Amino acid sequence: MLLGLHMIVKNEAEWLANCLDSIQEFVDEIIIVDTGSTDQTRDIAKTYGAKVISTEWKDDFSMARNSSLAHANTDWILYMDADEVFTGNGNELRDTLQNSTRHAYFVEIESLIGSSLHEKTIHPSIRFFRAKENYLFSGPIHEDILPSIQEKTANKTEIGKLACKLVHYGYLPVISQAKNKAARNVFILEKALRTHQNHPYYLYHLGMAYENLGEFEKAKLAIEKSLQVCEEKLSYRPTIVKDLCKLYRKLNQTYLTRALLERELENYSDYPDLYYQFGHAYLCEKDDEKALRMFKKATEVQHCSQYVTEAGCNHFLSFTEMGKVAVQWSAHSDALNYFIQALNFCPYYEEALYGITDILIAAQLSDDEIVKELNQLLTPSLNNPALKEAVEVALCHALYYGGCYKAFIARVDGLKGRPPELQDQYVLSLLLSSDELRAIHEVERMQQANAAVPDHLFNALFLNALERDSDIPSVCLKWMEQQSNHAYYSQLIEGVKNEFSAEKQMNFLLFLKPLIHLCITNRYYSLLTKVLMSCPELRLYAAKMMFYEGYSQLARPLFETLNHDNKLDGEGTFLLGQMLYAEEDWAQASYCFEAALKLQPAITEAHTGAGLCYLQQAKTELTQSVENFPEYPLFAAHLQKVNLSIELASKSRWSAVWRGKQRRNTLCQIPSPSV
């Protein structure tokens, strides 16, 4: 017999059939080691004609796997896990094995790690090997056959590579009980490390298990240790480096990434993931120029299959990051190109679509023009329906976050179904397009369909009615009655219609806060004005939120009033400084930044702002001096230095940056609420 499938399983009833369906017709025997299932696993296996060997679980994967090898009757062995499926041409595979002179084969394992199509990692693994050579697995977890093969065959060319793929979906958050698995792995690995002290492979997986458990500091210790003891020649060493970088990013310690990669990059100069991580490290340090260079490099290196690569690092993810940097520098046409390149590799990548929308907004295009441009960009011949839908959904998201509410509604209406992830945005868009009747209808429909309606949708309907002085929809009233704080709703209605009670409780103010934010995002300005008139305590909050939502022009008088009354805190003063800086009132702006620092020294960006204010003043002075006294070259030389310094410091992202709908808000002219 040619090929046998070997597996070890425990309680895999849910997945096993999936796995066996994909491979059954191409294998001649199936040998399954069961380590104590309490579900239907064994029965399912038997329906596929598998030979099932029951054994006791001894915290050692290698031991379990090796126990099945002894029963092999075939020339070749394939081993799989229950959460994997085989894809590819099975007949071709059999032909290859039939005529093979090699000892073993790599296949690509594609691990899905998120719900989106592109979220996957790819790495090669030896899964086919000759049965008669007595190769044995080693290592109690993440058992490996390679050392045994290498021991017996001098030449690495004995190992080939097959075209088929195994898709591994066990890491998907919805499927796996990753935590349980991780906890189990920690247990096994710690046990293994007691006998194999400082074993790099175990240390690495211990670290990864800790990471799954959310214990990042422990993970860091283990993986750093692993890298320290890992010999340079070991094939999984670059993966350790990559995962350590990712961990540093999670821990917000990207300066460690930088130090690590400055040492390691030259060893793995063709590993795109490392450049991608390096790019992110630079982004965290606000060194966008170096970041850009790294992302570019990630897209340029020749992809080499020996590395564990996360899909997109070498193209669309990196291109998108490059686009974002270019937008920061207002290099919009460059940015557009980067985003388009990203879409070439992943047409439904939302970040790239959103980036393009953002640029079109910055160019002050109308909604219709934006939709037109986006349509032109999309690949005309998307045949795969799943892909097509993914693109549509991503495009809808991009339209919503770009504030193109009418276009968003039209697009969603054009979809066959209503993807649940768009429902929430759909209702809000209807309200923002003053179509409250349909919005109410939608919410009612959601309730009828037993879909969970988020609180803020009810709040939005409620505030909309208050703003327009219309009746509160009954679906809303019903919901409010069920709320523990329904008294506050009445209080608010009373306050808006007649007068707020003079005495306001702290809890009532806290209740108002998210509603004020909603008033701002949904532009209920008369309501907002009424509330702020009676609740001066909330003015500072409202001013800040207006600023962050992009309504800085609108917020400006409110900031002035608050400043005049000495009611601005450090953050508020810093924001006022940013507005003054944008208006090129350098002296007043620096005064604000310095005042902000006195109030709240932790706002260190105010230092950058203040420094820039002084340089802008120096620039004005020097420019004038250059004009008035052209015969003194020193002024020009100084001006050049000051200009350079301004350029550098300005790129350090010290002030607020608006994208998408917030950016759109900065451009629109709406009368400001008077307080």
Partner 1 sequence: MPNTISLCMIVKDEEHVLADCLESVKNLVSEMIIVDTGSTDRTVQIAKNYGARVIETDWRNDFSWARNLGVEQATCDWILFLDADESLDPASLDDVRAWANYEEAEAYFFKIYNFFSDTEASINPTIRMFRNLPAYRFTGSIHEQISETIQQHKPDARFVMTNVKINHCGYQPSIYSAKNKSQRNISLLLKELERNPNHAFHQYNIGVEYLQTGEIEKSLAAFQKSIELVDPLSNYAHLLYKFESRCYGALNRLEEAIESCNRGLAKYPDYTDLFHYKGTYYLAMGKNSEAEESLDRAYSLSEPLKYHTESGIGTFTTAYLLGLANEALGDDERALHFYFASYKQNPAHLRPIFRAFQLIRNNGKEHELYELIHQKFKVSTFKDRSVIQDILVRCHCYKTVLRFIENWLEEDWIGTHEKVHLRELQLECRLLSGEPVLENEWNSHSKLKNLTGETLPPAFHPNFAENKLHSLVDTERMAHLLFATGCFHHFHTYMKEWKTKEKHTQKTFEISSRYQRAQTLSSIAEQHFSAFLQNQKIELVRSAKTVLPFDEGLIPYEPRLY
Counting contacts by CB under 8 A, is residue 598 touching partner 1? yes
Among 133, 287, 569, 571, binds partner 1 (CB under 8 A): 287
Counting contacts by CB under 8 A, is residue 330 touching partner 1? no
Pick the piece of the chain touching partner 1 (CB under 8 A) from 134-142, 387-395, 470-478, 598-606: 598-606
* Under 8 Å between Cβ of 206 and 142: no
CB of 588 to partner 1, least distance (A): 9
Counting contacts by CB under 8 A, is residue 329 touching partner 1? no
CB of 287 to partner 1, least distance (A): 5
The mark string for 290-309 relative to partner 1 (x by CB under 8 A, - otherwise) is x-------------------
- Closer Cβ to partner 1, 426 or 654, answer by number: 654
* Under 8 Å between Cβ of 606 and 597: yes
Counting contacts by CB under 8 A, is residue 285 touching partner 1? yes
* Under 8 Å between Cβ of 444 and 474: no
Report the alpha-carbon distance of residue 675 to residue 673 in Å, rounded.
6
* Under 8 Å between Cβ of 51 and 31: yes
Q: Which residues contact 600 (CB under 8 A, 6 or more apart)?
A: 569, 570, 571, 574
- Closer Cβ to partner 1, 47 or 640, answer by number: 640
Q: How far apart are the first and last CA of the chain?
A: 86
- Closer Cβ to partner 1, 75 or 621, answer by number: 621
Counting contacts by CB under 8 A, is residue 255 touching partner 1? yes
- Paired tokens of 87: 């894809």
Bridge partner list, 166: 86, 109
Counting contacts by CB under 8 A, is residue 585 touching partner 1? no
Counting contacts by CB under 8 A, is residue 18 touching partner 1? no
Burial (CB count within 10 angstroms: exposed 0-12, middle 13-18, buried 19+), residue 275: buried
- Closer Cβ to partner 1, 150 or 617, answer by number: 617
Greatest Cα pair distance in the chain: 95
* Under 8 Å between Cβ of 608 and 596: no
CB of 547 to partner 1, least distance (A): 22
Identify which of 123, 136, 127, 133 has the alpha carbon closest to the alpha carbon of residue 60: 136
> Which DSSP state fits 157?
G
Q: Which residues contact 282 (CB under 8 A, 6 or more apart)?
A: 258, 288, 290, 291, 294
* Under 8 Å between Cβ of 456 and 439: no
Counting contacts by CB under 8 A, is residue 331 touching partner 1? no
Among 113, 328, 591, 672, binds partner 1 (CB under 8 A): 591
CB of 602 to partner 1, least distance (A): 8
Counting contacts by CB under 8 A, is residue 259 touching partner 1? no
- Closer Cβ to partner 1, 156 or 564, answer by number: 564
Pick the piece of the chain touching partner 1 (CB under 8 A) from 13-21, 27-35, 561-569, 588-596: 588-596
Q: Is 449 left (phi over 0), alpha (psi -120 to 50) or beta?
A: alpha
CB of 280 to partner 1, least distance (A): 15
- Closer Cβ to partner 1, 480 or 639, answer by number: 639
* Under 8 Å between Cβ of 622 and 639: yes
Among 138, 553, 610, 655, binds partner 1 (CB under 8 A): 610
Counting contacts by CB under 8 A, is residue 249 touching partner 1? no
Place of tokens 């992202």: 653
Q: 612 to 651, contacts with partner 1 by CB under 8 A?
A: 612-615, 617-618, 621-622, 625, 629, 632, 634-635, 637-638, 641-642, 644-646, 648-649, 651
> Which DSSP state fits 129?
E
CB of 265 to partner 1, least distance (A): 17
Identify which of 192, 170, 167, 166 has the alpha carbon closest to the alpha carbon of residue 180: 170
Pick the piece of the chain touching partner 1 (CB under 8 A) from 151-159, 283-291, 308-316, 558-566: 283-291
Counting contacts by CB under 8 A, is residue 600 touching partner 1? no
Q: Is the dihedral of CA 245, 657, 407, 331 positive or negative?
A: negative
Among 90, 160, 557, 611, binds partner 1 (CB under 8 A): 611
* Under 8 Å between Cβ of 97 and 284: no
Positions in the binding site for partner 1 (CB under 8 A): 255, 285-290, 587, 590-591, 594-595, 598, 604-605, 607-608, 610-615, 617-618, 621-622, 625, 629, 632, 634-635, 637-638, 641-642, 644-646, 648-649, 651-652
